[in-house]
């Protein structure tokens, strides 16, 4: 073959290639269709930027000037008329320039302008490393392209927003379909998202994403939980307690099935960066949902994703109520203030002076009693005793006044004394974490491998760091759950335990002692968790919000808290302990001993006088 013949063959081959490329236009829709559909999707999802993807590495060389001008015209319309940042590139350029930093682009809209083989191959390659649910996708298909075949090698996760625009059979209306897969390897599912025609424009749906995608078609969701009664209880066939009820409602709302696993703890991050407990099972793809009371913390947010918060509470340290039965030496004087006692004493003296004065100045009868005896009579009246009657009317009036005053004073004193003895009073040894640390006699613990442990382990607070190093690290056997920890507070001497307020309130009825809280340490937000790349977080959040807005979640919480609270106290009576009456008993004993001593003294004096008295002479 001659050189001229070879050149002719190469020329023909080049012409055929150019003809084939020109036979497949780069823009498969008129410019105004692209403009209207892209604008409609952008406005609906409120994207911040648009990236137009084409399959050719060099548009000018492969598609010609006309195609390039159409592409630039589309970019000018989006960036100029709509004021939306718009870029043009192919997926190879996107990978080389952006790749792992694509998450820095906020709410992007990725538009695949055609379905040519070159862009299809690039799309399949990109879908393997990009998080498909991060951007919003809009794909334009030609009339003869089969949707399932085009996306056969592309995994479209359940939470991915991939819209496919294709003309109807008549070619007048653009039908935009919303496509997804419930799980990897599942069939491709689609539903109508919107429609567009030149007369009516873009008609977007009124329902939200998870109002349209509300059915998981019986998909099995692996649920992990821990035994932490009464909020989450591990049963033979599932989970009980508050979170068990929530799980059952989620199962009905999402039309899925749950398989259950048990974790030994909530989970903490080890020094080597790995996790334990339920968090580890989520990170290592052993579970799809952790249905237990997980506290939202910054370190956990880097490893997993939390659902919508279920409830909020406060976290603080609890101790056993200090002993209130110590001997109250002032118990029988405390009901009256000092000025009241002075007024009573002054009343006794004035009443005694009145009686003695009337008796002394009376002309009908001589003075018959000493003043000390009259004082004892009046004092006896204030103690509830009677008085020797007098024949004189003025003295009788004084007696009446004394008795009326004594009845009122005695009734008030008795009521105040009973209240003082019956009401239990105690003094907290400390109310802050600083006080707990300075006391030095209390042990301190949190739940094993919990967020509470991470708070002390990772804190920069001086006091909490000292508590972790001096107290918490010395506890080799930390409680497995909140109930275990609070039982140790009651069972062991001087044991402090950190828990949630609502858990302490619920579990109080199952404890043998009364708990007392210290000052609030942190505000705790409780939620369930899913793996970081879980496609089911959105539908779970949507159902939790539906339960919360309808009041069902609040009723479940009240039912769970009230059903646990009725075990609290079997009786409302408060008894007086023996130690409370100890001052009175000691007073009676002292009075008895003093009486015996006085009696012995009087007998001794009497015998001494009898022995020294001179005998009468015969």
In this predicted structure, what is the pLDDT of residue 613?
63
Tens of pLDDT along 455-496?
898 888 999 999 999 999 999 899 999 999 999 999 999 999
Tens of pLDDT along 74-100?
999 999 888 999 999 888 888 888 877
Give domain 22-212's CATH superfamily: Response regulator (3.40.50.2300)
pLDDT band at 506 (very low <50, low <70, confident <90, very high): confident
In this predicted structure, what is the pLDDT of residue 219?
94
Q: Which residue has the higher pLDDT, 276 or 585?
A: 276
In this predicted structure, what is the pLDDT of residue 580?
66
Q: How many residues does the chain have?
A: 618
- In the block, residue with structure tokens 């000092």: 338
**% of the chain with per-residue pLDDT over 90:** 49
pLDDT at residue 422 greater than cutoff 80:
no
In this predicted structure, what is the pLDDT of residue 64?
54
Q: Which residue has the higher pLDDT, 445 or 352?
A: 445
pLDDT band at 567 (very low <50, low <70, confident <90, very high): very low
pLDDT at residue 329 greater than cutoff 90:
no
Least confident interval from 49-58, 341-350, 474-483: 49-58
pLDDT at residue 6 greater than cutoff 70:
no
- Rounded CA-CA distance 190/163 in Å is 9
In this predicted structure, what is the pLDDT of residue 2?
52
Q: Distances from the Cα of 65 to the Cαs of 28, 59, 78, 168, 554, in angstroms?
A: 16, 8, 20, 30, 64
Residue 364: how many other CB atoms lie within 10 Å: 6
Tens of pLDDT along 119-147?
999 999 999 999 999 999 999 999 989 99
Tens of pLDDT along 22-45?
446 778 999 999 999 999 999 999
In this predicted structure, what is the pLDDT of residue 16?
41
pLDDT band at 237 (very low <50, low <70, confident <90, very high): confident
- Rounded CA-CA distance 501/515 in Å is 11
In this predicted structure, what is the pLDDT of residue 10?
43
Task: Compute the mean pLDDT over every residue in the chain, rounded to the nearest whole number.
Answer: 85
Question: 391-418 burial by CB neighbour count: b if 16+ within 10 A, else e?
Answer: eeeebeebbeebbebbeebeeebeeebe
Closest by CA to 67, choosing from 28, 13, 109, is: 28
Mean of pLDDT values over 230-235? 84
Strand order, beta sheet including 189-197: 85-89, 49-53, 108-112, 136-140, 161-167, 174-180, 189-197, 201-203
Same fold for the domain at 22-212 and the one at 220-310? Answer: no
Question: 135-147 burial by CB neighbour count: b if 16+ within 10 A, else e?
Answer: bbbbbbbeeebeb
Tens of pLDDT along 347-404?
888 888 887 877 777 655 554 677 777 888 888 888 878 777 777 777 778 888 888 8
Token pair recorded at residue 82: 């709509």
From 1.10.3720.10, 3.40.50.300, 3.40.50.620, 3.40.190.10, which CATH number describes the 433-563 domain?
3.40.190.10
In this predicted structure, what is the pLDDT of residue 577?
67
- In CATH, what class is 220-310? alpha beta
In this predicted structure, what is the pLDDT of residue 367?
47
pLDDT at residue 573 greater than cutoff 80:
no
Please, what sign has the CA dihedral across residues 320, 325, 329, 334? Answer: positive
- In the block, residue with structure tokens 């000292």: 466
The full DSSP string for 118-168 is HHHHHHHHHTTTS-TTSSEEEEE--TT--HHHHTTT----TT-EEEEEEE-
Which of 352-356, 513-517, 573-577 is most confident? 513-517
310 prior amide bond cis, ω within 30: no
In this predicted structure, what is the pLDDT of residue 569?
47
> 3-state SS string over 395-429?
HHHHHHHHHHHHHHHHHHHHHHHHHHHHCCCCCCC
In this predicted structure, what is the pLDDT of residue 221?
95
Domain ranges of the chain: 22-212, 220-310, 338-422, 433-563
- In the block, residue with structure tokens 């030609």: 142
SS3 for 479?
Answer: coil
């Amino acid at each position: 073959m001659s050189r001229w013949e070879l050149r002719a063959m190469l020329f023909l081959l080049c012409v055929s290639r150019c003809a084939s490329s020109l036979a497949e236009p780069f823009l498969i829709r008129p410019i105004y269709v692209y403009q209207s559909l892209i604008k409609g999707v952008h406005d609906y999802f409120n994207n911040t930027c648009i990236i137009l993807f084409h399959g050719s590495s060099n548009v000018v060389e492969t598609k010609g000037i006309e195609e390039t001008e159409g592409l630039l015209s589309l970019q000018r319309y989006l960036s100029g008329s709509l004021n939306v940042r718009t870029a043009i590139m192919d997926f190879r350029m996107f990978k080389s320039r952006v790749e792992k930093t694509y998450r820095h682009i906020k709410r992007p809209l990725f538009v695949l302008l055609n379905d040519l083989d070159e862009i299809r191959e690039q799309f399949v390659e990109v879908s393997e490393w990009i998080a498909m649910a991060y951007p919003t996708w809009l794909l334009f298909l030609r009339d003869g392209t089969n949707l399932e075949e085009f996306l056969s090698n592309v995994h479209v996760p359940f939470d991915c927003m991939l819209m496919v625009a294709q003309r109807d059979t008549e070619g007048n209306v653009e039908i935009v379909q919303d496509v997804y897969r419930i799980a990897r390897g599942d069939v491709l599912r689609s539903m109508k998202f919107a429609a567009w025609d030149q007369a009516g424009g873009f008609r977007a749906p009124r329902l939200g994403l998870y109002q349209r995608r509300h059915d998981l078609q019986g998909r099995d969701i692996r649920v992990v939980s821990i035994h932490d009664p009464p909020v989450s209880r591990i049963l033979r066939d599932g989970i009980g307690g508050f979170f068990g009820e929530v799980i059952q409602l989620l199962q009905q709302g999402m039309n899925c099935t749950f398989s259950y696993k048990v974790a030994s703890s909530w989970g903490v991050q080890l020094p080597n960066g790995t996790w334990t407990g339920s968090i580890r099972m989520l990170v290592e793809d052993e579970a799809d949902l952790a249905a237990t009371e997980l506290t939202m913390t910054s370190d956990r947010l880097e490893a997993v994703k939390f659902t919508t918060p279920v409830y909020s509470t406060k976290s603080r340290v609890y101790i056993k109520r200090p002993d209130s039965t110590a001997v109250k030496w002032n118990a029988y004087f405390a009901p009256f203030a000092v000025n009241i006692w002075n007024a009573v004493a002054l009343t006794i003296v004035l009443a005694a002076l009145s009686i003695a004065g009337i008796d002394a100045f009376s002309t009908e009868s001589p003075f018959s009693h000493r003043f000390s005896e009259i004082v004892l009579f009046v004092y006896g009246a204030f103690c509830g005793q009677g008085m020797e009657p007098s024949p004189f009317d003025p003295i009788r009036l004084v007696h009446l006044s004394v008795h009326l005053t004594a009845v009122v004073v005695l009734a008030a004193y008795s009521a105040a004394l009973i209240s003082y003895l019956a009401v239990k009073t105690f003094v907290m040894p400390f109310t802050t974490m600083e006080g707990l640390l300075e006391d030095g006699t209390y042990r301190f613990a949190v739940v094993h491998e919990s967020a509470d442990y991470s708070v002390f382990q990772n804190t920069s607070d001086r006091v909490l760091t000292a508590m972790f190093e001096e107290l918490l690290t010395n506890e080799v056997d930390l409680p497995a759950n909140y109930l275990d920890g609070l039982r140790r507070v009651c069972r062991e001497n001087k044991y402090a335990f950190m828990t949630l307020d609502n858990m302490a309130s619920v579990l109080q009825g199952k404890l043998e002692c009364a708990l007392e809280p210290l000052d609030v340490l942190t505000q705790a937000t409780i939620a369930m968790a899913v793996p970081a790349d879980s496609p089911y977080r959105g539908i779970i959040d949507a159902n939790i919000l539906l339960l919360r807005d309808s009041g069902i979640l609040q009723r479940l919480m009240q039912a769970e808290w009230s059903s646990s609270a009725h075990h609290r106290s079997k009786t409302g009576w408060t008894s007086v302990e023996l130690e409370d009456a100890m001052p009175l008993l000691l007073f009676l004993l002292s009075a008895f001993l003093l009486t015996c001593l006085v009696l012995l003294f009087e007998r001794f004096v009497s015998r001494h006088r009898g022995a020294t008295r001179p005998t009468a002479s015969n």
